């Protein structure tokens, strides 16, 4: 599916309070109105930021989505999910390197 649709979804979830509330109440129902594949919906529901970035989503959108809605908004966890080594956890990067 389109990277643009994924980016639109993450942008909306990062800036729109009512979208955040609907996603928190029922993420699958919220995502049903978007033309996303099952795999892309799962990436959003599972906060798979590495997968989203591999799909071409802007790293700042994945980071904003994480900071707004992830169950544990800890940036060290975010960076681990991107594959950062423990050595690099202290350094900042919103993007997947490699």
Range(s) of the domain holding residue 82: 3-88
Question: Does residue 30 lie in a domain region?
Answer: yes
Q: How many domains is the chain built from?
A: 1
Question: Does residue 98 lie in a domain region?
Answer: no
Question: Does residue 93 lie in a domain region?
Answer: no
Do 81 and 48 contact (CB within 8 A), yes or no?
yes
Question: Does residue 94 lie in a domain region?
Answer: no
**Global pTM?**
0.85
Question: Does residue 19 lie in a domain region?
Answer: yes
Do 79 and 88 contact (CB within 8 A), yes or no?
yes
Question: Does residue 52 lie in a domain region?
Answer: yes
Per-residue pLDDT of the chain (98 residues; tens, 9 = 90+): 588 999 999 999 999 999 999 999 999 999 999 999 999 999 999 999 999 999 999 999 999 999 999 998 888 888 889 887 777 776 665 555 55
Distance CA 43, CA 97 (A): 19
| CATH number, position 76 | 1.10.700
């Amino acid at each position: 599916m389109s990277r643009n649709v994924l980016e639109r979804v993450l942008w909306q979830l990062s800036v729109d309070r009512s979208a955040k509330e609907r996603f928190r109440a029922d993420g699958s129902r919220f995502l049903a109105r978007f033309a996303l594949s099952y795999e892309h919906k799962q990436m959003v529901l599972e906060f798979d930021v590495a997968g989203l970035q591999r799909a071409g989503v802007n790293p700042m959108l994945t980071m904003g989505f994480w900071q707004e809605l992830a169950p544990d908004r800890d940036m060290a966890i975010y960076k681990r999910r991107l594959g950062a080594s423990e050595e690099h956890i202290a350094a900042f990067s919103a993007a997947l390197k490699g």
